[in-house]
């Protein structure tokens, strides 16, 4: 396990992380969610031992081995897939026979066996991430750190990367993974919300939604009227929050019946779409925590 105790990290006058208390390695998959600039990469590098905190302590429990996949591709691009895996196996002290067996196992596991002789730099984005994960788990670490592994890859590759992450967890390795994609939190056993260097919450995914205090209404196909409606809705005492999401309008209600009637009336007048109740999404959850911590609303 890794424990962070009142960890602060500054770069000059800029505070990247502020007073972080955190234990990693207790959950199967521990997610770190936050927008760009929240401090996710700094926190990952501190956990990996690549940075030292300005204040506080980062303590790795004796005997805890790590695997680390940085945000940028860290493999040797001119070397083949197989050569990279052999190299990282040697770095981690695996004997030749074990290294070969483990490499063959991981090539099958990642579906990279047909590309074993291909230069790593010529792989697609999703295949590069698979290779990076394979290299990071060659030595069967206790804890795998993944810094935004699905950033910049296509939707199909994102799904495949998460299948690998879940497979790693099932094989006994704990995972700490950061993402800016809110919907990916559903894969995690616990989820940290990080914003502007501060840890807003660290809970099980279901707990965030279960105690969300506002019924949520959605007006479908409201793109032609949402900008006209938003100022009015935000002034309504029965409305806790209102925002646009694609072509829809999302409203949190302090009084569910009153807000539903208001939205249905507006929808009839303006010929907008259907008004529907909806379970709170991760955007709602994160926005709620920002509001409660005195943060201004920000685009995700």
DSSP 10: E
What are the φ/ψ torsions at residue 208 (nearest 5 degrees)? -60, -40
Are the beta carbons of 43 and 49 closer than 8 angstroms?
Answer: no
Lowest mean pLDDT: which of 33-37, 50-54, 88-92? Answer: 33-37
Structure tokens given for 99: 């290294």
Q: Tell which wins on pLDDT, 113 or 206.
A: 113
Measured distance CA(279)–CA(284) in Å, rounded: 9
How far out from the chain centre does Cα 182 lie? 6
> What class has domain 213-279?
alpha beta
- In this predicted structure, the answer to whether residue 223 has a pLDDT above a threshold of 90 is no
- In this predicted structure, the answer to whether residue 225 has a pLDDT above a threshold of 90 is no
Q: Tell which wins on pLDDT, 66 or 183.
A: 66
Query: Which secondary-structure segment (H or E) carries 289?
Result: helix 282-292
- What pLDDT is attached to residue 46? 98
Q: CATH 3.30.70.920 in the chain, residues?
A: 213-279
Mean pLDDT in residue range 171-198: 93
Q: Mean pLDDT score of the chain, rounded to an integer?
A: 92
The helix/strand/coil state of 93 is: coil
Homologous superfamily of domain range 2-209: P-loop containing nucleotide triphosphate hydrolases (3.40.50.300)
Lowest mean pLDDT: which of 23-27, 81-85, 119-123, 222-226? Answer: 222-226
Are the beta carbons of 32 and 46 closer than 8 angstroms?
Answer: no
Q: Model confidence at 101, in pLDDT bands (50, 70, 90)?
A: very high
- In this predicted structure, the answer to whether residue 300 has a pLDDT above a threshold of 60 is no
The helix/strand/coil state of 52 is: coil
Q: CATH 3.40.50.300 in the chain, residues?
A: 2-209
- When mean pLDDT is compared over 140-149, 239-248, 270-279, the highest value belongs to 140-149
Query: Which secondary-structure segment (H or E) carries 205?
Result: helix 205-210
Within 19-146, residue ranges assigned H as helices are 40-48, 81-91, 96-109, 125-136
- In this predicted structure, the answer to whether residue 252 has a pLDDT above a threshold of 60 is yes
- What pLDDT is attached to residue 227? 84
- What pLDDT is attached to residue 82? 97
- In this predicted structure, the answer to whether residue 121 has a pLDDT above a threshold of 90 is yes
Mean pLDDT in residue range 191-198: 94
Are the beta carbons of 126 and 138 closer than 8 angstroms?
Answer: no
pTM: 0.87
152: left (phi over 0), alpha (psi -120 to 50) or beta: left
Name the residue among 100, 178, 111, 177 with its Cα closest to residue 138.
Answer: 100
Mean pLDDT in residue range 207-211: 88
- In this predicted structure, the answer to whether residue 298 has a pLDDT above a threshold of 50 is no
- What pLDDT is attached to residue 295? 57
Which residue pairs, CB below 8 angstroms and at least 24 apart, start in 72-79? 73/120, 73/128, 73/132, 74/132, 75/120, 75/128, 75/131, 75/132, 75/135, 76/120, 77/119, 77/120, 77/121, 78/119, 78/120, 78/121, 79/119, 79/120
- What pLDDT is attached to residue 183? 86
Q: Model confidence at 299, in pLDDT bands (50, 70, 90)?
A: very low
Q: Tell which wins on pLDDT, 146 or 34.
A: 146
How far out from the chain centre does Cα 78 lie? 30
Q: pLDDT tens digit string along 69-81?
A: 999 999 999 999 9
- What pLDDT is attached to residue 97? 94
E runs forming strands in the chain = 2-11, 14-24, 29-33, 55-60, 66-69, 143-147, 174-179, 190-195, 198-203, 216-219, 239-245, 248-253, 275-278
DSSP 280: -
């Amino acid at each position: 396990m890794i424990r962070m105790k009142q960890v602060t990290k500054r770069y000059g006058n800029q505070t990247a992380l502020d007073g972080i208390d955190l234990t990693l390695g207790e959950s199967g998959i521990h997610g770190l969610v936050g927008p760009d600039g929240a401090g996710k990469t700094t926190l990952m590098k501190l956990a990996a031992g690549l940075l030292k905190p300005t204040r506080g302590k980062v303590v790795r429990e004796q005997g805890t081995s790590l695997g680390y996949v940085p945000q940028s591709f860290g493999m040797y691009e001119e070397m083949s897939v197989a050569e990279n895996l052999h190299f990282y196996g040697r770095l981690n002290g695996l004997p030749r026979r074990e290294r070969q067996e483990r490499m063959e196992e991981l090539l099958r596991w990642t579906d990279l066996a047909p590309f074993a002789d291909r230069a790593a730099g010529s792989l697609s984005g999703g295949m590069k991430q698979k290779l990076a994960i394979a290299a990071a788990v060659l030595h069967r670490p206790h804890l795998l750190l993944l810094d935004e592994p699905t950033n910049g890859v296509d939707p199909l590759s994102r799904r495949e990367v998460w299948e690998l992450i879940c497979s790693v967890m099932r094989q006994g390795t704990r995972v700490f993974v950061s993402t800016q994609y809110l919907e990916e939190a559903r894969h995690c056993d616990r989820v940290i919300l990080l914003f502007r260097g501060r840890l807003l919450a660290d809970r099980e995914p279901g707990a965030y939604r279960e105690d969300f205090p506002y019924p949520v209404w959605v007006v479908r196909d409201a793109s032609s009227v949402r900008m006209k409606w938003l100022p009015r809705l935000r002034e309504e005492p029965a409305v806790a929050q209102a925002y646009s999401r694609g072509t829809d309008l999302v409203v949190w209600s302090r009084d569910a019946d009153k807000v539903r009637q208001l939205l249905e009336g507006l929808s009839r007048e303006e010929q907008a779409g259907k008004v529907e109740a909806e379970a709170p999404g991760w955007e709602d959850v994160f926005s709620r925590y920002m509001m409660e911590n005195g943060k201004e609303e920000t685009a995700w």
